[in-house]
Structure 1
Amino acid sequence: MKKAIYVALVWVVLLPAHAVLAQPQVKELPSGYLMTVAAYLSTGEGYAQRYVKKLREQGYQADYGFTYPKNMYFVYIKKYDDFQTAVNEINKTRNETPFNDAWVYVYKAREPQPVTPPLQEPDDASQPQSPPPAPADNIQADTSAVMVQADSTEAAVPADTAVQEPVVTEPPRPEYARLIHIDAAHVRTGEPVEAEFLIYDPFNEQVLTTMKSGATEWVNPPANEQKVARIATSTIGWKKDEVDISFINPITDSTEYFTSLQGDTLVLYFEMHRLRKGDIQTLYNVYFFNQSAIMRPESKFQLEELLAMLKENPKYRIMLHGHTNGKAPGEYIRLAENDTLFFKMSPVHERTSGSAKALSYDRAQTVRQYLISRGIAPERIEVKGWGGKHMLYDENSPAARRNIRVEVEVLADQ
């Protein structure tokens, strides 16, 4: 037994230093000017890998790497060796590709540093010492990095260029105010999701601000004693999600999975889940002209979100439920046959009269016809009109207009 232990100890001692001390290797960003399209927390390497795979399938020379100053993974689609070329290409990338929020990230990879091993006395003073072992690959130096956000109206300036700027004095911020950055990604593919977030006080429902994914801004703390704010997203095509964050102590056992502090910035990371069979969402930002089934132009934005969901998964089938404010019949305007003026009042529309149920049906039908005109198969969309049978508010209340709505129910998702 003693002999076995002795042999094992000798085997360990004879191992090279870098083999004994080896640490898990992190794929670091390369040095250069990187056209960056996505960022993930240090726990999100899998998301970065899946997004890179998808981008490569689309023909982009995408890759990813870890940035030590920010403790995050960045996905980039191009790497340049000089600053000016990168800045010149940023506008082209934003205008000619889907990456309208791309930015140039300047990174200098960490350099390995030599490690001096402890001196050992030789058994024989006349015996020359063997050369020291090679430095371990994972021993690296400090990093310097600069974020450059190029803009179409203002030329970016290299980090080493001295620029004289006027001194701007900002008013003091309230105690516990936080600089917040929000990222959102598809839980399955890791692809960034354009989502909107509402930040409000859950005790009195006072809205603090709204933010879009990818944005960074200062947010004042809520007025409640605990300084707890609720951050919620309800983007069409995605399940609703909300979390409570304390501005005093945002990183806790229950929040550390999706929060991190990057310097002074509180980074929140949301995993977005697509709607599943049985889920229902309301298209609250789809509006109709009075006494008509014709949509207002601002309705296009939310319909684009619904289109994205339907195009991502061809197996989705949905039911559109139309609702009105009240049950009274009357005259109204609707689309005529082969009418494609979905967002504009026009003499080509058809004037008719009918029940509130008929009006609600025609409104849902207008949404259906628009989706079909954008390439969705007709058999994937069903329509039902409810009139004023399921009003959310009294028809004479200040909130009565929210009774006029179209809801989306997922009938099948696979």
Structure 2
Amino acid sequence: MKRLLFSFFVIASFIFQSSTAKPVTSAFLKDPETLNAGIYLVIGVFEQETNAQRMTKSASQQGLPAFYKLHSKNKLYYVYTYRALSKSKLISAYYEIRSKTPFKDAWLLTVDDKLENTRLEALGEQQEEKHTIRPTAQKNPKEEAFSLASKSLVFAFENYDDVRQELIPAQLTITDKSSSKLISKLQSDEYLSLEGGQRTTDTLLITTRALGYQESSFLLDLQSDMSSMQSLIKEIRNDTVFVQFPLKQLEVGDFQTMYNTYFYANSTVMRLQSKHELDIVYNLLSRFPNMSIKVHGHTNGNSRGVAYLYNEEKRNYFDLIRTNEYKKRGFSSTKLSEYRAETIKSYLVHKGISEERIKTYGWGGKQMLFDEDSPMAKNNIRVEIEILNK
């Protein structure tokens, strides 16, 4: 056991000495309570500060640089090892931590509060790129001859509004075009690594989804040279390929499912993980002040039963209260779906969106996608947004 522990510490020491990202130093931690703008290499997230403290201490005892701070928006505590102002500086540390330490689920968190005006002296940054989209630059002959075929590569993806030229967070599904085999599901601030010697596909089919934008797909041909994909490839830096592509806004009359908004069973109260997607809807409505939407609620079937209701005065959006005060019997599925839509509206209104811009409707089980006894029946329980005006 001692020999194993010693080997682990040797490996950990090598990782962080060789990484291109430097650990955050105490000189940077002037305000240890709040996350500043930047990209964080996160190894854990907690609702309770004491749990974040325990994990920080445990990681430090294993030889990792570990810190924790509170996110001012979602009120969760994030335990992290590194911070930088550009993703490229964290790529090496990201893969080393996931492959050579116990923290296999480490991920990159973007805190994007006036990122372009923030300077991180503790990491020795003098000037960082602004967080905007630039047109693809002219390629020189050496770049045009660059082939993606047999190399081990890291892909970084950026999605942007095709009209406003702003970066948009999106979910990406990456499959092998020839076999339709799923390769990875990730966020636009995460990375895809493909090993040259173990690669089994020549063409990647990349499908993107972002709230407020049409779903889109494009092909990345790994057998082509860079000159044939100038519209997609923004830059190649060492072994990292930076891919960018536009997203088109939803049109009036378009519907979109909120796949990451969840409610407690038999309740109009949401689960905490729904907050991220709700805030995306809020940001969307904030960016487009003329946009109005309708929130549609759906259930699995049309039975009646007991339901625990969200309370407007307490604003317990994510806090299920199982007391008789909030318990309603004989509650219909139509009312349940309507009240769920109203909970979402209440959240957005209390964040500052005008009430007149949000309509709601509860369908109950009138528009089920699958039979209510089907293995896929859980997909009937969903919330959709409809664009009424732009």
Into which bin does the TM-score normalised by the smaller protein fall? 0.5 to 0.7
Match of 1:218 among 174, 182, 193: 193
Residue-pair matches, total = 272
Name structure 1 gaps, 5 residues minimum.
Answer: 1-82, 106-145, 160-173
Q: Does 1:292 align with 2:263?
A: no
CA contact (8 A) 2:175 2:205 kept: yes
Counterpart mapping for 1:269-288 below 5 A: 269-288=244-263
Match of 1:198 among 165, 173, 181: 173
Q: CA deviation at 1:350?
A: 4.2
CA contact (8 A) 1:184 1:272 kept: yes
Counterpart mapping for 1:81-100 below 5 A: 97-100=36-39
Q: CA deviation at 1:214?
A: 4.1
Which residue is 1:314 aligned to?
289
Are residues 157 and 389 of structure 1, via their aligned partners in 2, closer, same or farther at CA, if it must alter by over 3 Å?
Answer: closer
> Which one has a larger percent helix, Structure 1 or Structure 2?
2
Q: CA deviation at 1:302?
A: 0.8
Which residue is 2:303 aligned to?
328
What is the letter of the counterpart of residue 389 of structure 2? A
Which residue is 1:407 aligned to?
384
Are residues 158 and 383 of structure 1, via their aligned partners in 2, closer, same or farther at CA, if it must alter by over 3 Å?
Answer: closer
Separation in 1 of the partners of 2:154 and 2:91? 18
What is the letter of the counterpart of residue 288 of structure 1? F
Which residue is 1:360 aligned to?
337
Once the two structures are superposed, what CA deviation does each residue of 1:41-97 show, in whole Å capped at 9, x if it has no partner? Answer: xxxxxxxxxxxxxxxxxxxxxxxxxxxxxxxxxxxxxxxxxx9xx9956988x9665
CA contact (8 A) 1:334 1:352 kept: no
Counterpart mapping for 1:1-400 below 5 A: 97-100=36-39, 103=84, 177-202=152-177, 204-219=179-194, 227-249=202-224, 251=226, 253=228, 255-259=229-233, 260-346=235-321, 347=323, 348-400=325-377
Separation in 2 of the partners of 1:295 and 1:104? 33
Separation in 2 of the partners of 1:375 and 1:157? 36
Q: CA deviation at 1:305?
A: 0.7
TM-score by length of 1: 0.56
Secondary structure of 2:281's aligned partner: helix
Are residues 341 and 313 of structure 1, via their aligned partners in 2, closer, same or farther at CA, if it must alter by over 3 Å?
Answer: same
Are residues 397 and 176 of structure 1, via their aligned partners in 2, closer, same or farther at CA, if it must alter by over 3 Å?
Answer: farther
Name structure 2 gaps, 5 residues minimum.
Answer: 1-21, 41-82, 94-120, 126-148
Separation in 2 of the partners of 1:388 and 1:176? 51
Secondary structure of 1:211's aligned partner: strand
Are residues 321 and 87 of structure 1, via their aligned partners in 2, closer, same or farther at CA, if it must alter by over 3 Å?
Answer: same
Are residues 340 and 350 of structure 1, via their aligned partners in 2, closer, same or farther at CA, if it must alter by over 3 Å?
Answer: farther
TM-score by length of 2: 0.59
Are residues 99 and 177 of structure 1, via their aligned partners in 2, closer, same or farther at CA, if it must alter by over 3 Å?
Answer: closer
Separation in 2 of the partners of 1:390 and 1:250? 47
Q: CA deviation at 1:269?
A: 0.4
Are residues 352 and 313 of structure 1, via their aligned partners in 2, closer, same or farther at CA, if it must alter by over 3 Å?
Answer: farther
Once the two structures are superposed, what CA deviation does each residue of 1:138-193 show, in whole Å capped at 9, x if it has no partner? Answer: xxxxxxxx968999xxx97889xxxxxxxxxxxxxx96653212122333343332
Are residues 217 and 367 of structure 1, via their aligned partners in 2, closer, same or farther at CA, if it must alter by over 3 Å?
Answer: same
Which structure would you say has the larger Rg?
A: 1
Q: CA deviation at 1:365?
A: 1.2
Are residues 360 and 148 of structure 1, via their aligned partners in 2, closer, same or farther at CA, if it must alter by over 3 Å?
Answer: closer
Q: CA deviation at 1:356?
A: 1.8
CA contact (8 A) 2:308 2:328 kept: yes
CA contact (8 A) 1:177 1:247 kept: no
Alignment identity in percent?
A: 26
Q: CA deviation at 1:283?
A: 0.7
